[in-house]
Protein backbone atom coordinates (compact mmCIF):
# COMPACT_ATOMS: atom_id res chain seq x y z
CA UNK A 1 0.00 0.00 0.00
CA UNK A 2 2.87 2.38 0.80
CA UNK A 3 4.41 1.68 -2.60
CA UNK A 4 1.15 2.53 -4.39
CA UNK A 5 0.80 5.77 -2.40
CA UNK A 6 4.40 6.73 -3.15
CA UNK A 7 3.90 6.02 -6.87
CA UNK A 8 0.68 8.05 -6.97
CA UNK A 9 2.30 11.03 -5.24
CA UNK A 10 5.39 10.72 -7.45
CA UNK A 11 3.24 10.69 -10.60
CA UNK A 12 1.32 13.70 -9.34
CA UNK A 13 4.52 15.66 -8.70
CA UNK A 14 5.97 14.77 -12.12
CA UNK A 15 2.77 15.95 -13.82
CA UNK A 16 2.85 19.26 -11.95
CA UNK A 17 0.06 18.51 -9.50
CA UNK A 18 1.24 18.80 -5.91
CA UNK A 19 -1.18 17.80 -3.17
CA UNK A 20 -1.06 20.41 -0.42
CA UNK A 21 -2.91 20.64 2.86
CA UNK A 22 -3.37 24.16 4.13
CA UNK A 23 -4.87 24.97 7.50
CA UNK A 24 -7.81 22.74 8.31
CA UNK A 25 -7.94 21.13 4.86
CA UNK A 26 -9.28 24.03 2.82
CA UNK A 27 -7.05 23.26 -0.19
CA UNK A 28 -7.62 19.73 -1.46
CA UNK A 29 -5.32 19.78 -4.49
CA UNK A 30 -2.92 22.20 -6.11
CA UNK A 31 -1.30 22.53 -9.54
CA UNK A 32 1.21 25.01 -10.90
CA UNK A 33 0.86 25.44 -14.67
CA UNK A 34 2.72 27.43 -17.31
CA UNK A 35 1.21 30.74 -16.20
CA UNK A 36 -1.20 29.74 -13.45
CA UNK A 37 -1.77 28.24 -10.06
CA UNK A 38 -5.00 26.37 -9.47
CA UNK A 39 -6.64 24.20 -6.88
CA UNK A 40 -9.88 23.01 -5.35
CA UNK A 41 -10.93 25.05 -2.35
CA UNK A 42 -13.41 23.77 0.24
CA UNK A 43 -15.54 26.88 0.76
CA UNK A 44 -18.65 28.60 -0.54
CA UNK A 45 -18.52 30.70 -3.70
CA UNK A 46 -19.40 33.98 -1.98
CA UNK A 47 -16.65 33.59 0.65
CA UNK A 48 -14.02 32.85 -2.01
CA UNK A 49 -15.18 35.71 -4.27
CA UNK A 50 -15.09 38.21 -1.40
CA UNK A 51 -11.66 37.01 -0.27
CA UNK A 52 -10.24 37.18 -3.82
CA UNK A 53 -11.52 40.75 -4.23
CA UNK A 54 -10.22 41.76 -0.79
CA UNK A 55 -6.80 40.19 -1.47
CA UNK A 56 -6.42 41.99 -4.80
CA UNK A 57 -7.38 45.29 -3.20
CA UNK A 58 -4.96 44.58 -0.33
CA UNK A 59 -2.19 43.99 -2.90
CA UNK A 60 -3.06 47.43 -4.33
CA UNK A 61 -4.34 45.98 -7.57
CA UNK A 62 -6.16 48.02 -10.16
CA UNK A 63 -9.32 46.04 -10.94
CA UNK A 64 -9.66 46.08 -14.74
CA UNK A 65 -12.70 43.82 -15.09
CA UNK A 66 -15.06 42.28 -12.55
CA UNK A 67 -17.76 39.75 -13.49
CA UNK A 68 -19.11 38.02 -10.41
CA UNK A 69 -21.71 35.95 -12.30
CA UNK A 70 -18.94 34.37 -14.42
CA UNK A 71 -16.49 34.23 -11.51
CA UNK A 72 -13.78 36.30 -13.22
CA UNK A 73 -11.64 39.11 -11.83
CA UNK A 74 -9.00 40.78 -14.00
CA UNK A 75 -6.52 43.10 -12.36
CA UNK A 76 -3.18 44.79 -12.79
CA UNK A 77 -0.67 44.52 -9.95
CA UNK A 78 2.52 46.47 -10.57
CA UNK A 79 3.42 45.31 -14.10
CA UNK A 80 1.56 41.98 -13.88
CA UNK A 81 -1.74 41.18 -15.57
CA UNK A 82 -3.59 38.87 -13.17
CA UNK A 83 -6.76 36.87 -13.83
CA UNK A 84 -8.65 35.14 -11.03
CA UNK A 85 -11.27 32.59 -12.10
CA UNK A 86 -13.64 30.77 -9.75
CA UNK A 87 -15.68 27.78 -10.93
CA UNK A 88 -18.19 25.99 -8.71
CA UNK A 89 -17.73 22.23 -8.46
CA UNK A 90 -20.30 21.75 -5.68
CA UNK A 91 -21.88 24.38 -3.42
CA UNK A 92 -19.13 23.67 -0.85
CA UNK A 93 -16.22 23.17 -3.31
CA UNK A 94 -14.79 25.78 -5.69
CA UNK A 95 -12.02 25.61 -8.30
CA UNK A 96 -9.72 28.64 -8.02
CA UNK A 97 -7.35 29.48 -10.86
CA UNK A 98 -5.01 32.45 -10.77
CA UNK A 99 -2.93 33.28 -13.83
CA UNK A 100 -0.30 36.01 -14.16
CA UNK A 101 1.62 37.50 -17.06
CA UNK A 102 4.15 40.29 -17.36
CA UNK A 103 4.79 41.76 -20.81
CA UNK A 104 2.86 38.79 -22.27
CA UNK A 105 5.27 36.32 -20.62
CA UNK A 106 3.86 33.77 -18.16
CA UNK A 107 4.74 34.33 -14.50
CA UNK A 108 3.56 31.24 -12.57
CA UNK A 109 5.45 32.19 -9.39
CA UNK A 110 3.53 35.46 -9.11
CA UNK A 111 0.28 33.60 -9.80
CA UNK A 112 1.21 31.20 -7.01
CA UNK A 113 1.83 34.11 -4.62
CA UNK A 114 -1.60 35.63 -5.36
CA UNK A 115 -3.25 32.18 -5.11
CA UNK A 116 -1.86 31.51 -1.64
CA UNK A 117 -2.62 35.08 -0.51
CA UNK A 118 -6.27 34.48 -1.42
CA UNK A 119 -6.67 31.15 0.41
CA UNK A 120 -4.54 32.14 3.39
CA UNK A 121 -7.35 33.89 5.26
CA UNK A 122 -10.24 31.58 4.32
CA UNK A 123 -9.92 29.31 7.37
Q: What is the pLDDT of residue 108?
A: 94
- For the four alpha carbons of 25, 26, 32 and 38, in that order, the dihedral sign comes to positive
Residue 90 has pLDDT above 90, yes or no: yes
pLDDT band at 93 (very low <50, low <70, confident <90, very high): very high
Query: Among 1-5, 45-49, 91-95, 109-113, which stretch is predicted with the lowest mean pLDDT?
Result: 1-5
Inter-CA distances, 95 with 13, 26, 45, 71, Å: 19, 12, 9, 10
Section 99-111 average pLDDT? 94
**Per-residue pLDDT reduced to its tens digit, 39-79:** 999 999 999 999 999 999 999 999 999 999 999 999 999 99
CATH number of 2-120: 3.30.310.80
Q: Which residues, 6+ apart, have CB-to-CB distance to 96 below 8 Å?
A: 38, 39, 40, 41, 48, 52, 84, 85, 86, 115, 118, 119
Q: What is the pLDDT of residue 31?
A: 87
Q: What is the pLDDT of residue 24?
A: 39
Amino acid sequence: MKVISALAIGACVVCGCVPVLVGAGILTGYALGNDSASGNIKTEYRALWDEALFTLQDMEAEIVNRNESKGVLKARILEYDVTVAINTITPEMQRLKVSARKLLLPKPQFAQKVFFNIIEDLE
